[in-house]
Structure 1
Amino acid sequence: METALVRIYKELDKWKHRHLLLLADEQESMVEKYLASGTMYVLEDSGVKAECVVTDEGNHVLEIKNIAVMPKSQGYGYGKKLIGFLVKQYAGNYDYIQGGTGDSPLTIPFYEHCGFTRYDVRKNFFLDNYDHVIVEGGKQLVDMVLLHRKI
């Protein structure tokens, strides 16, 4: 992983990695809402391993709207490397980087391992914004948990 490379994809290329985007957010209409205004980063290491999309939320806050690692590449530190890249990339321009996720045993520990802490909850986010029930790690997602870390 020492040679992993993070590339920036411009708007026209973003859907090229549809399979990764939809791993993290399975409703295409939700992805489309932030994809046009977000910046997409793709981590390559002998092929594409991970991606993320970030947006400027104002007030010096950068938000991770989508982050996913290829299933066969999970557990090797690619997601954490991508978070580290974002922190370095945006240091000095933002005070916080935040992410929102379902209260899932699969994603909350990842964010916490990357130095994020919980700070808020958006009640019924998944019920109000998705057209189907979303289950992750055997648990139906209802509320969005917001986590952040200082940059």
Structure 2
Amino acid sequence: MEIKMINENKKQFLDLLLLADESESMIDKYLERGELFALYDNELRSVCVVTRESCDICELKNIATYEKWHGMGYGSKLIQYIGAFYKDKYKTMIVGTGDVPSMMQFYGKNGFHLSHRIHNFFTDNYDHPMFENGVQLVDMVYLKKEL
């Protein structure tokens, strides 16, 4: 397994990024200013994008794994890697997600805990209703992890 930081042609990963964020225009808002990491295990399995939000906070903006590789630990490996990568640069990593039990469980298992909530984020910022595991996304739930 290998994790690489991607500095050029980040849009080549758009198909995978769209699995975690259905809006290309929303992805465009953070992709170029963020650092993109790609996890390979013979072939591409997962990607994530991390942005600088302040002098001591970074944000995991997008993390996605191809569906056929779900549940095999690739997302967790990426989170472990970026946590170690950024621990000397930032104090805290935050991530925003929909209020869906499977996502809350995934992030909780990876050391994140509840920070705050932005009401109506998904209904205010996307031009169509968004669903995850049959649950309509309304509020953005922010979680944080001390690095």
Same fold (TM over 0.5): yes
Distance of 1:132 and 1:106 partners within structure 2? 22
Percent identity of equivalent pairs: 43
Corresponding residue of 1:5: 2
What pairs with 1:2-151 in structure 2 (closer than 5 Å)?
A: 4-10=1-7, 12-151=8-147
Distance of 2:49 and 2:55 partners within structure 1? 18
Q: TM-score normalized by structure 1? A: 0.95
Distance of 1:85 and 1:49 partners within structure 2? 15
The residue type paired with residue 126 of structure 2 is Y
- Secondary structure in 1 aligned to 2:88? coil
The residue type paired with residue 149 of structure 1 is K
5+ residue gaps, structure 1:
none
Cα drift, residue 147 of structure 1:
0.3
Task: Give the alignment's Cα RMSD to 1 decimal.
Answer: 0.8
The residue type paired with residue 19 of structure 2 is L
Q: Deviations over 1:3-39 (max 9, x none)?
A: x1101111x3211111110000001100000011000
Q: Deviations over 1:87-118 (max 9, x none)?
A: 11011211011100010123111101101001
5+ residue gaps, structure 2:
none
Distance of 1:52 and 1:150 partners within structure 2? 18
- Secondary structure in 2 aligned to 1:132? coil
Count matched residues.
147
Divergent runs of 4+, >4 A: none
Q: Deviations over 1:55-87 (max 9, x none)?
A: 000040010000001111111110000000011
Q: TM-score normalized by structure 2? A: 0.97
